[in-house]
Structure 1
Amino acid sequence: MRIHRWLAAGSVLLAQPALANGGGYFRGGVERAGDVAGFEPEETEKIRILDEKLTVALGQKSADVEVRYLMRNEMDKKVKVRFGFPVEESFDENDFGMPDQVENKKPDQPGYCRNYVITASGVSTAAKWQAEEKSGEQKPFKGLAGWLISEITFAPGEEKPVMIRFESSYPLKEWSVSDDSSTGASLFKYRLSTAACWSGTISTGRIVLKPAGIDPQELKVLKPVNRFKKEGDAWVWNFENLEPAMADDMEVEASPSVDTFPVRFGSSDGSEYVNRGGRWSMSHANYQIKASSTLPADGTHSYQAENVKTSRPDIAWSEGARGTGIGEWLEIIPEVSKPLAAIEIWPGFTSSEEYYQANARPKKISIDLNGEYQFSVDVPDRRESFRIPIKGYSKPVDKLRMTFKEVWPGSKYEDLCVSGVKLHVRLDKKPKIQPAR
């Protein structure tokens, strides 16, 4: 298990001693010299945010974040600003509820803020990591690991577009007792309050929270209250002349807590009862399966479609057609027809990272239910299971076909692989759970 430092995405912070209330983030001077000194921005009180557009695409394991600002120099002279983007600590937790330990070394830039990019007028700008030594000491700074610091120069009266983009992993909390297991809710946070440190109000803004591979019904805005409105599957907040405060800081649940229990102790079929935020289902591999093609066996290694029923990482189905596997398919016939809540797939050959990268993996899948309901889904390139929620179709499923429309190419082989497929059947009520042994 591991520690994540994920961006509590928010408007860049300033800590000048004489501006408004700064959202409570004022520090008032450098406290001591050196790399661990308190971060002190410069000249940000002279720049106003005219517009802020934040888009958060919430996936199953992480969120892709993009924020676009239009900033204006309020002065009639050139201004060079030094500012920081807040990075918030977030620990994975083990079975004992304690944060996992990691090697205590200082990174040049937080490795858990994946692919952090900042541009000004389309030109890439450097970002330097600096730790926040007041993390945990007082409320505004509590939980902040540090800052990604950049500098931008504005001409007199200049309006300049600034863009920040990154990927933010959700903190992982999981524990188990015997064969029972639990995973905490997937949470994303955004500190809008740090924008109070810039000049004036945010003139206009739009924040869009959109599902990207998660069930839209499970997406919840926990904080702030009474700001967001539903637009299709997304939650949207439009505002004008906002004076951001801590009450505006965001906390979003991308997916609920999940508890799993074996249907029968000692059973080898892997069937489980699943409680997702109070909604029950049963996951199973009780089905017949056939494939459009299969790679011939290599000695004792078989690549038959039946391999996906085990969800074992050391075996997989591999297609046997020429090319990358685009257009190949798996067809599943459940032993008993039931409405599906989701399909869970283990894309690629998951026995090791080496084998995973060497072979092709599904990137876009077309799902066909009963030959009458179709939809497509994008699959992230990760060596882990991916849940495909079934939306808008409640009939019992007699036949399911997955056609692979796009693939992540393998570094060594063209063969497209899938290591596991489970069906999640909807349950009307809580099943009888056997006590953990």
Structure 2
Amino acid sequence: MKYIFLILTFITFNSFSQNVKEFETEIEIDFDFGIKVQNDWKERNQLLKDLESEKKSWDNLTEKESELFEKYDETYNSMWDVEGGGCSWYCGAGNYTVDSSSSLKSQNENSYEITNINDFSYQTAWVEGVKGYGIGEFIEFTFVPKHPRLTVIKIANGYIKSKKSWKNNSRVKKLKMYVNDSIYGIINLKDVYSLQSVELEKPIGHSERKDYEKLQNLPKWKIKFEILEVYKGDKYDDTAISEIFFDGIDVH
């Protein structure tokens, strides 16, 4: 009976593994918050102030000054901004809440709360708060019924604020994704200092869009990300994610 149980367990696990879809991420942008970039932003911000005070004019910018605005869009307030002030999917989206199974306690001025994961800043991070590497810890987004549907998930994996912090802390290797408590698939993340994205096979969210009153009365919907496996940090076993945000449809 013992051997039969082991065989059945193996078959069940193997069948489960084959049925769960796996998603590979694509690289969107490589991060660089080094000294040169910091100095460029200081120069760019001073230039904006000079333009606002009319010490300078948009009509007579030097080639170097024009290149600064081409590289660092004037709609962004700082180099840490995930989204600028221009129009994007988030003009009509973002009405959701986020929670987690745990969070690391604040240390000095550094906070690691779950709210960091959707504050649209690469400078902050959510860090799980249990011993070890946080296997099994999760993040859960809850969306209002009318929220626009999602088609892309974007993840800034690890503690992005500096390359040193990113290396020292653990990063996620595999995330198990649930939609309304049902397993959707496994996201395989690359161990790179970059923004990664996953394009979904079909939009997630309520497809009923013609009858607004009916849409309002539909149930809220959820997406949960559970840590399955990590890339170990050089110094700490704490696992960090700086940002998870989305793109989609039903806005414009």
Report if TM-score (shorter chain) is over 0.5. Answer: yes
Match of 1:346 in 2: 156
Query: What SS does the aligned partner of 2:194 have?
Result: coil
Deviation at 1:376, TM superposition (A): 0.7
1:288 aligns with 2:97: yes
- What are the equivalent positions in structure 2 for 1:198-237 lying under 5 Å apart? none
Indicate how the Cα distance of structure 1 residues 284 and 364 shifts in structure 2: closer, same or farther if over 3 A, else same.
Answer: farther
1:363 aligns with 2:173: yes
Indicate how the Cα distance of structure 1 residues 314 and 374 shifts in structure 2: closer, same or farther if over 3 A, else same.
Answer: same
Q: Greater CA radius of gyration, 1 or 2?
A: 1
Deviation at 1:374, TM superposition (A): 1.0
Indicate how the Cα distance of structure 1 residues 376 and 337 shifts in structure 2: closer, same or farther if over 3 A, else same.
Answer: same
Equivalent residues of 1:284, 1:423 under 8 A apart: no
Indicate how the Cα distance of structure 1 residues 307 and 395 shifts in structure 2: closer, same or farther if over 3 A, else same.
Answer: closer
Match of 1:380 in 2: 190
Deviation at 1:377, TM superposition (A): 1.2
Query: What SS does the aligned partner of 2:124 have?
Result: coil
Query: What SS does the aligned partner of 2:221 have?
Result: coil
Gaps in structure 2 of 5+ consecutive residues:
1-23, 29-69, 77-81, 207-219
Indicate how the Cα distance of structure 1 residues 329 and 261 shifts in structure 2: closer, same or farther if over 3 A, else same.
Answer: closer
One of 60, 81, 94 as aligned partner of 2:26: 60
Quote the Cα distance in structure 2 between the aligned partners of 1:422 and 1:357. 22
String of CA shifts for 1:374-413, please: whole Å, max 9, x gaps: 1111000112211122214544371110001111111100
Equivalent residues of 1:358, 1:410 under 8 A apart: yes
Quote the Cα distance in structure 2 between the aligned partners of 1:414 and 1:306. 21
Quote the Cα distance in structure 1 between the aligned partners of 2:93 and 2:164. 28
- Counterpart residue identity of residue 305, structure 1: I
Equivalent residues of 1:337, 1:398 under 8 A apart: no
Identity score, percent: 22
Deviation at 1:292, TM superposition (A): 0.8
| TM-score normalised according to structure 2 size | 0.59
* Higher relative contact order (CA closer than 8 Å, sequence separation 6+): 2
Match of 2:232 in 1: 409
Query: What SS does the aligned partner of 1:391 have?
Result: strand
Indicate how the Cα distance of structure 1 residues 395 and 373 shifts in structure 2: closer, same or farther if over 3 A, else same.
Answer: farther
Equivalent residues of 2:138, 2:226 under 8 A apart: yes
Q: Give the total of aligned pairs.
A: 169
Quote the Cα distance in structure 2 between the aligned partners of 1:60 and 1:282. 24
Match of 1:205 in 2: none
Query: What SS does the aligned partner of 2:108 have?
Result: coil
Quote the Cα distance in structure 1 between the aligned partners of 2:96 and 2:205. 17
Match of 2:75 in 1: 179
1:303 aligns with 2:199: no
Select the structure that is richer in helix: 2
Quote the Cα distance in structure 1 between the aligned partners of 2:73 and 2:108. 39
Quote the Cα distance in structure 2 between the aligned partners of 1:346 and 1:283. 22
Quote the Cα distance in structure 2 between the aligned partners of 1:400 and 1:296. 24
Indicate how the Cα distance of structure 1 residues 394 and 285 shifts in structure 2: closer, same or farther if over 3 A, else same.
Answer: closer
String of CA shifts for 1:276-307, please: whole Å, max 9, x gaps: xxxxx879544211111111111221110001
One of 81, 88, 106 as aligned partner of 1:272: 88
Deviation at 1:371, TM superposition (A): 2.2
Match of 1:77 in 2: none
Equivalent residues of 1:331, 1:401 under 8 A apart: yes
Query: What SS does the aligned partner of 1:382 have?
Result: coil
Match of 2:125 in 1: 316
Quote the Cα distance in structure 2 between the aligned partners of 1:395 and 1:373. 15
Gaps in structure 1 of 5+ consecutive residues:
1-57, 63-173, 181-259, 266-270, 274-280, 432-437
Higher mean displacement: 361-370 or 383-392: 383-392
- Counterpart residue identity of residue 298, structure 1: Q
- Counterpart residue identity of residue 391, structure 1: E
Equivalent residues of 2:167, 2:233 under 8 A apart: yes
Equivalent residues of 2:95, 2:143 under 8 A apart: yes
Quote the Cα distance in structure 2 between the aligned partners of 1:414 and 1:287. 30
Match of 2:248 in 1: 425
Quote the Cα distance in structure 2 between the aligned partners of 1:286 and 1:379. 26
1:398 aligns with 2:221: yes
Quote the Cα distance in structure 1 between the aligned partners of 2:166 and 2:241. 10
- What are the equivalent positions in structure 2 for 1:38-53 lying under 5 Å apart? none
